[in-house]
Amino acid sequence: MEKEKLKALLDDMSLKEKADQMLQLMGAFYQEDKEGILTGPARDMGVGEEDIQLAGSILGTYGAGKLKKLQKEYMEKQPHHIPMLFMMDVIHGMKTVFPMPLAQGAAFDPELSEKCAAAAAKEAAVSGLHVTFSPMVDLVRDARWGRVMESTGEDPYLNSRLAQAQVKGFQGEDMGAPYKVCSCIKHFAAYGGAQAGRDYNTVELCEHTLRDFYLPSYKAGIDAGAGMVMTSFNTVNGIPASTNKWLMRDVLRKEMGFDGVLISDFSAILETVAHGHSKDEADAARKALEAGVDIDMMTSVYSANLCKLVEEGVVDEALIDEGVMRILELKNRLGLFENPYKDADEEEEKTVILCKEHRNLAREAAGKSFVLLKNEGILPAAPGKKTAFIGPYTDNKEIISSWAILGDVASCVTIKEAAEKVFDPGLTTFCSGSPVLSERELKGLVGFGPGKPVSVSEEEQEKLLQEAVEAAKEVELVIMPLGEHYLQSGEATSRGMIDLPEAQVRLLREVAKVNENIAVVLFTGRPLDLREVSRIARSVLVVWLPGTEGGAAAVDVLTGKVNPSGKLPMSFPYCTGQIPVHYNAYSTGRPDNVGEVRFRSKYIDIPNEPLYPFGYGLSYTKFEISPVKLSGGVVTDEKAVTASVTVKNTGERAGTEVVQLYLQDIAASVVRPVKELKGFVKAELEAGEEKEITFVIDEPMLRFLRADGTVGSEEGEFNLFIGNSSDTDNQAKFRYES
Ligand code: GLC
């Protein structure tokens, strides 16, 4: 529809109709039982029948047939027959589930993430959906926060590359094209900075840190064309994001140039009363509208107050018109005025969802996301060896994450199902050895509904343990699929102790007493304290929450069919007390790099370094990276310098090395991180093969937020590092002269 017609439509709408375009309800409000809804959740929420009929969008419902019926009935009653928007959390896959986002960060593969997002978009689109609340691009440094699983990690550059890739995968060049959906960047802003890793907690960041580390990935998603942004629950320096005019009007809209729809997180506008920023719901409505929030997710703050605020002259109707126009423009970009059903298609649902192509992609993506942290020669598992798979993830289909809310668990492939196809049945045994969680740990999962695991009696646990120990005695290799329960990560799952579940620690210890050849396969939504696991196991392979084909991908890697190439997108801390720990930290005035000296920035009981650093990951082969070669020693505004290394596969099998480029601005108007990732290349090499990898170092790469508040570069010395982990010391020096 042309812009003028949209404007004419807006001008013809009543104030109430406009206000309710800014209301988003759960799809459950549109089920048959109207009475039950009206006298139940709707009444509790303060939403009336008229609001339900006029709401501009819904979330949480999908299905081609259901949404086509809903749209038809809704549009017949909508005074201007304006189509409704259908939104959903399709975070890392819909029915076919891809590796969780932190695992996709470990793959260091934007093209791969783009393909995964495109496949997810296709399944979502044929199911009738128009918008996905993805990607979450919050930078994370605190593994106590359960939502690190939803992020791509601790680095602004990696997060930016993957944000851009996912938006392009979801939206393509035109979100109105077939099988594309609108992508919603979230959560603006800095939700990952919640103090102490406690969800929804306060975020206090100086503007320098906010801009240098936390904002770049949102900007990358917006520059990639994301049609929507979601506000975050947290305060940003004392003001809740959803009513933070500076953050939303000045930073998001003016500076970043975002002109799409800004939606609140679930009840986040109402929660500004609990935050102590809005004195009541009417005040919250005014502040959020003035901040430029266009859609109120699942409260009646807008629908119950905006009309009155306009009638009383408290808010300008023009602010409502601005927000509603953005909503109409989004519906228009999706082509809904011409075709309100877009790609909804019951027949295509049957052929697209969980199709072989998507499953193969899920398997490939999982295999590329795994990170080999340790391997003392017992992986890949040699065929013909007596092997026992022992652990609660041996035959467990719950490997798709708590945010894979539409994922089809039954369609997941377990390690056992995959192993039975390739391991000699006469030489291989399988047992769980323990429940995933103990009774005590189960108690923490309050309100987790149907997915919550059942408890296992003490006697049963003893029986499982004895069976496992017996199985371990008889074999040459014990593969132990262990890990967090999938409900222990995701929203509202902050943990004060990031340990492996206690029943599994006991299992590991008991098995180790009878067999030292242990390879741990770790399912987890977050970095864990792996000191004991690393001490006991001879191999440790992190498989995260790998998605629908996770078990098949795990066996591909365990058998060497796939050579692991993942690199950590987030540091694994030495212990919880070391958090926050991240590679791109500042030097301090007393760096702990002068030997055994007391008065330095360090702990007296643990090291400063994480157990495993950002960018780290092993392979089944060996790679040698040559010293850095520079094409010159000075970068100027006109002249770039190239930095090259030769990477050689000195092992016996093909493999992929993620070659990483880091810079350090040695002295600047504000202190700079000791290393900053500025580029990476995935080098696929046959055994014995070598390749030259070259990076271009130019002036834009050196820019940062300077002390005077402007963004730019400053003259001076730089260290440059090229290696296969953030702890590389393969370095060279250059100068920048303006
Ligand atoms: C949740 C999450 C957000 C999600 C929204 C809708 O509380 O914070 O990421 O998109 O509600 O489900």
- Same domain as 313, residue 396: no
Contact between 623 and 734 under an 8 Å Cβ cutoff? The reply is no
The distance between the two most distant Cα atoms of the chain, rounded to a whole number of Å, is 81
CA dihedral 160, 162, 165, 171 (to 10 degrees): -90
- Contact, 415 vs 395, CB < 8 A? yes
Residue whose CA lies nearest to ligand 1 atom number 8: 265
Q: Which of 586, 576, 492 is closest to 527 using CA atoms?
A: 576
CA 265 to centroid of ligand 1, rounded, Å = 6
- Ligand 1 centroid, distance to 229 Cα (angstroms): 12
pTM metric for this prediction: 0.97
**Which domain covers residue 524, as residue numbers?**
352-578
pLDDT above 80 for 448: no
**What is the structure's pLDDT at 511?**
98
CB 504 within 8 A of CB 464: no
Whether 402 and 529 map to the same domain: the answer is yes
For residue 595, being part of any structural domain is answered with no
State how far Cα 425 lies from the chain centre.
38
SS3 737: strand
Assess whether pLDDT exceeds 90 at residue 444. Answer: no
Asked if residue 671 has pLDDT above 80, the reply is yes
* Helix (H) or strand (E) run with residue 37 in it: helix 34-39
Name every residue whose Cβ is closer than 8 Å to that of residue 46 and which is 6 or more positions away in sequence.
300, 304
Q: Is the separation of the CB atoms in 737 and 671 below 8 Å?
A: no
Same domain, 271 and 313: yes
Q: Which atom of ligand 1 is nearest to the CA of 60?
A: 12
Inform me whether the pLDDT recorded for 450 exceeds 80: no
* Least confident segment among 345-359, 360-374, 429-443: 429-443
Compute the distance between CA of residue 85 and CA of residue 24 in angstroms, rounded to an integer.
Answer: 9
What residues are in contact with ligand 1 under a 6 Å CB criterion?
59, 89, 133, 186, 265-266, 491
Distance 133 CA to ligand 1 centre (A): 8
Catalytic residue set = 265
Among 491, 493, 494, the mutation site with the greatest number of ligand 1 atoms within 8 A of its Cβ is: 491
What would the pLDDT profile of 674-704 be if each residue is shown by its tens digit?
999 999 999 999 999 999 999 999 999 999 9
Per-residue DSSP letter, 612: B
- For ligand 1, the distance from its centroid to the CA atom of residue 581, given in whole angstroms, is 27
Is 117 part of a structural domain of the chain?
no
Regarding whether 310 and 368 lie in a shared domain, the answer is no
Report the CATH number at residue 260: 3.20.20.300
- Find the 52 Cα to ligand 1 centroid distance in Å: 21
Angle at 183 between CA 197 and CA 570, to 5 degrees: 35
- Lookup: tokens for 496: 């004060």
Q: Do residue 466 and residue 418 come from a single domain? A: yes
Q: What is the best residue among 229, 264, 265, 402 to mutate for testing ligand 1's pocket, by most ligand atoms within 8 Å of CB?
A: 265
Q: Is residue 109 part of a domain?
A: no
276 and 368 fall within a common domain: no
The residue whose CA is least distant from atom 10 of ligand 1 is 133
Same domain, 529 and 430: yes
- Ligand 1, closest atom to CA 186? 9
Nearest CA to ligand 1 atom 1: 266
The closest residue, in CA terms, to atom 3 on ligand 1 is 265
pLDDT for residue 365: 98
End-of-domain residue from the set 546, 578, 610: 578
The verdict on residue 148 lying in a domain is no
- The total number of structural domains in the chain stands at 3
Q: Report CA(362)–ligand 1 centroid distance (Å).
A: 24
How many Å apart are CA 686 and CA 237, to the nearest integer?
Answer: 51
Three-state helix/strand/coil letters over 684-718? EECCCCEEEEEEEECHHHHCEECCCCCEECCCEEE
| 141, part of any domain | no
Are 309 and 436 in a shared domain? no
- Mutate which of 57, 62, 87, 89 for ligand 1 pocket (most atoms within 8 A of beta carbon): 89
**Residue 17's pLDDT band (cuts 50, 70, 90):** very high
Q: Atom 7, ligand 1: which residue's CA is nearest?
A: 266
State the pLDDT at residue 446: 77
Check which CATH number belongs to the domain holding 688 and give it: 2.60.40.10
Same domain membership, residue 647 and residue 535: no
Confidence of residue 33 (pLDDT cuts 50, 70, 90): confident
Q: How confident is the model at residue 653 (pLDDT cuts 50, 70, 90)?
A: very high
Q: Which atom of ligand 1 has the smallest separation from the CA of 191?
A: 8
> SS3 sequence, 579-599?
CCCCCCCCCCCCCCCCCCCCC
Same domain, residue pair 650 and 731 = yes
> Residue 38: what pLDDT?
83
Q: Number of C-alpha atoms within 13 angstroms, CB side, residue 455?
A: 11
Residue 513: what pLDDT? 98
Residue 132 lies in a domain: no
Mean pLDDT of 491-518: 97
**Could you identify the atom of ligand 1 that is nearest to the CA of residue 233?**
8
Instruction: Tell me if 711 is assigned to some domain.
Output: yes
CA distance 64 to 436: 36
Q: Given the DSSP bridges, would you call strands 228-231 and 235-236 parallel, antiparallel or unpaired? A: unpaired
Residue percentage of the chain with pLDDT more than 90: 94
What's the token pair of residue 271?
Answer: 């929660």
User: Listing from the earlier edge strand, what are the strands of the sheet with 716-723?
Assistant: 634-636, 731-737, 716-723, 655-665, 676-685
Backbone angles phi, psi at 225, to 5 degrees: 100, 15
Give exposure, 127-145, as e/b (b: 16+ Cβ within 10 Å).
bbbbbbbbbbbbbbbbbbb
Residues 325 and 367 reside in one and the same domain:
no
Q: Residues 423-441: what's their mean pLDDT?
A: 95
What is the pLDDT, as a whole number, of residue 193?
98
pLDDT tens digit string along 514-529?
Answer: 999 999 999 999 999 9
Give 304 Cα–ligand 1 centroid separation in angstroms.
Answer: 22
Q: How far is the CA of 228 from the centre of ligand 1 (A)?
A: 14
Which of 302, 318, 342 is the last residue before a domain boundary? 342
Give the ligand 1 atom nearest the CA of 134: 10
Identify the domain boundary among 545, 578, 611.
Answer: 578
Contact 131, 187 (CB under 8 A): no
Nearest CA to ligand 1 atom 6: 266
* Burial track 201-221 (b if 16+ CB lie within 10 A, e otherwise): bebebeeeebbbbbbbbbbbb
Q: What is the distance of C-alpha 664 from the center of its chain?
A: 27
pLDDT at 32: 80
- CA of 266, closest atom in ligand 1: 11
Domain-located, residue 309: yes
- pLDDT-based confidence at 440, cuts 50/70/90? confident
Q: What angle do CA 438, 442, 446 make, to 5 degrees?
A: 175
User: Residue 297's closest CA among 22, 694, 657, 693?
Assistant: 22
User: Does residue 689 sit in the same domain as residue 728?
Assistant: yes
The closest-lying atom of ligand 1 relative to the alpha carbon of residue 232 is 8
Strand partners, 693: 645
Q: pLDDT tens across 241-274, in order?
A: 999 999 999 999 999 999 999 999 999 999 999 9
Q: Tell me the CATH number at 440.
A: 3.40.50.1700
CA of 661 to the centre of ligand 1 (A): 35
pLDDT mean over 127-140: 98
